[in-house]
Structure 1
């Protein structure tokens, strides 16, 4: 018993000593971590090909695990974002993806959950490369208004940053967007990367775009937000991957019942309304089968899935409609399609 008490006393004293040393120990550990992480490039290990990083796989429904709509595309010397919902771009920076080389942002449509997180993209590109020119913001009609609104909102901020850090770090001219309203068709053609916008059905939001992305024989189609539409299978014909939004009505109905019982009829009505302009996992699987793609990657997940346990309920019978791979994207999911073959490598940042 005495030995046991002595051992406990030694442990208590040792722990007490560590407690008093927590400040210098914490600083030392933090320094080591910071030096290892600062300036890292999480994309350096991927070879030539088409690489997708899912930076926001959620929706306007609050979800601590998912940012709002955001997808990064890297192909050769091209680095672009498709949409910039809240939290998505910040996650990219946290994953170790440098955005100084960001070439442009493409918007599928102008819903708030696809545009309200764009400011970090502008700042990280500006400070990361000492950019002297505006960042192109490309999308359907109305995109130039979004750019103008951001420029007005951030006008004072841009001036403060140049005054503080100096023109060599944050030159005048780099802290703003250049909006471009473009019709459906080719919206990007540079360095072998060709991106074509096509119209989808997200009424009353119109026009809303999906994108067909092609690079060195590899093709990915991104749906944007849409109800089930024949345009999707047509646009995705022969693609390697179909990245498609997904909403499971049976799970959303449970939210509707809960909101109604809680005396929140207006929010309950919104959960009914959203059923009309989104696609179910089963419908997305049908489109993937008709298009003949290798993989279906689901994103813009509605409703929130608290854990992977609920993924089977979310997917329903999608696997019976599409025999290829079906994945549910998470923030940090990576797909790499190497140039010159049919491989699809999956990773996670």
Structure 2
């Protein structure tokens, strides 16, 4: 009993000492210094080895506000070559938190000009520049990409001048800051896209009327491939372009769940929201249809992204998947931080989550 009393007394003293330290300003400064040293020593995250193709989901959400998902964004790493596909809200913050070396991004692909896909293009410009990008950053997109890029260039011009004046041209040269618009055209030209070194990028016309043209993209590297749908209604053209792809990253909207939201907003006398909910299903793809497309394409893995509506819990996720298991088993619901790695010469797809 005496030993127990001494142990309890000792434990109480230790707890009090910890509490005192936490509220001691000197101890707080020391703890922050140690945490800073540890954080500064973290290494960049490696997304792919030289013989690997990888896909990182940097934003799996949609225009609807979602506390757990950034706006639409994916990063494809072909060995040491990094390419960003779309730039939704919050995506750059994700990449920074995961310590992705942003200076390696050598091109941005914009599927179409809906706001949720271009919202952080200015931050892509800024963060890759600050990270050490050495030249203009090409932005590949449909007809109209020059107008979009010019808008972000104008919006960020003053910011660029301030940062160069503050940090100096040796660190942040204004000559390398700009984005460079590269138009893919109305029908999709491979000629303007990065190729070589085992890499081939192919644009895919998809169905997102009245957004015309809108593109998906297929990345082939060595003998592995990733196909990204962009926003689209069910598209046979996409299914053909994605033939035998390793990963099909496909958008998905549940008409049933969105229909429930439409009815709920009508009952709640919110006609504007109800009208939007009634309009959006016809230019997106249902989870079941995406599974059918993946089967037609003989895709090894289907990853659903750009998820509509917001799925706050497991119950909503299971409702979202209703009917999918009747079509195929190999379906993954994307989450921000999903990293899929595909080594050359294998059928392997390794998955882990960055956090």
Do both share a fold (TM > 0.5)?
yes
Pair 1:82-2:88 in alignment: no
Take 1:118 and 1:143, find their aligned partners in 2: how far apart are those partners? 12
Q: 1:130, 1:170 within 8 Å by CA — same for their partners in 2?
A: no
Q: Which whole-Å CA distance do the structure 1 matches of 2:299 and 2:155 have between them?
A: 42
- SS of residue in 2 equivalent to 1:197: strand
Between 149-158 and 256-265, the greater mean CA deviation after superposition: 256-265
Q: RMSD between aligned alpha carbons? A: 2.2
Gaps of 5+ in 1: none
> Secondary structure, in 3 states, of the residue corresponding to 1:154?
helix
Please name the residue that 2:225 is paired with.
Answer: 219
Partner of 1:185: 189
SS of 1:37 mapped into structure 2: helix
Equivalent residues of 1:50, 1:337 under 8 A apart: yes
Which of 28-37 and 214-223 deviates more? 28-37
Give the superposition deviation at 1:255.
Answer: 1.5
Paired residue for 1:142? 144
Which of these residues, 263, 267, 280, is aligned with residue 274 of structure 1? Answer: 280
Contact 1:289 1:322 in 2 (8 A): yes
Q: Cα distance, 1:261 vs. partner?
A: 2.0
Q: Is the 8 A contact 2:104 2:133 kept in 1?
A: no
Match of residue 331 from structure 1 = 336
- Deviation, 1:285, is 0.2
SS of equivalent residue, structure 2 residue 105: coil
Deviation, structure 1 residue 333: 0.5
Three-state SS of the structure 2 residue aligned to 1:160 is helix
Give the secondary structure class of the aligned counterpart of 1:126: helix
1:195 equivalenced with 2:195 (yes/no):
no
Whole-Å separation in 1 of the counterparts to 2:30 and 2:18: 18
CA drift of 1:316 comes to: 1.2
Aligned residues: 346
1:86, CA displacement in angstroms?
0.9
Residue 327 of structure 2 is aligned to residue 297 of structure 1: no
Hey, what does 1:152 align to over in structure 2? Answer: 154
Whole-Å Cα distance in 1 between the matches of residues 37 and 334 of structure 2? Answer: 30
Partners of 1:181 and 1:207 in 2: CA distance = 12
Distance change in 2, residues 1:310/1:317 (3 Å): same
Within the candidate set 305, 310, 313, 2:316 is matched to 310
Go from structure 1 to structure 2 and tell me whether the alpha carbon gap of 1:272 and 1:345 turns closer, same or farther (over 3 Å shift). same
- Is residue 232 of structure 1 aligned with residue 232 of structure 2? no
Tell me, in whole angstroms, the C-alpha distance in 2 between the residues paired with 1:336 and 1:214: 13
Deviation readout 1:156-180 (Å, 9 max, x if unpaired): 1111111111111101222211111
Give, in angstroms, the shift of residue 237 of structure 1: 0.8
Counterpart secondary structure, 2:304: strand
Structure 2 residue aligned with 1:341: 346
User: Which among 114, 117, 121 is matched to residue 117 of structure 2?
Assistant: 114
The alignment partner of 2:103 has SS state of coil
- 1:14-37 Cα offsets, whole Å, 9 max, x none, are 46523432x344433333333333
Give me the whole-angstrom Cα distance separating, in 1, the residues matched to 2:22 and 2:27.
10
- Are 1:248 and 2:263 counterparts? no
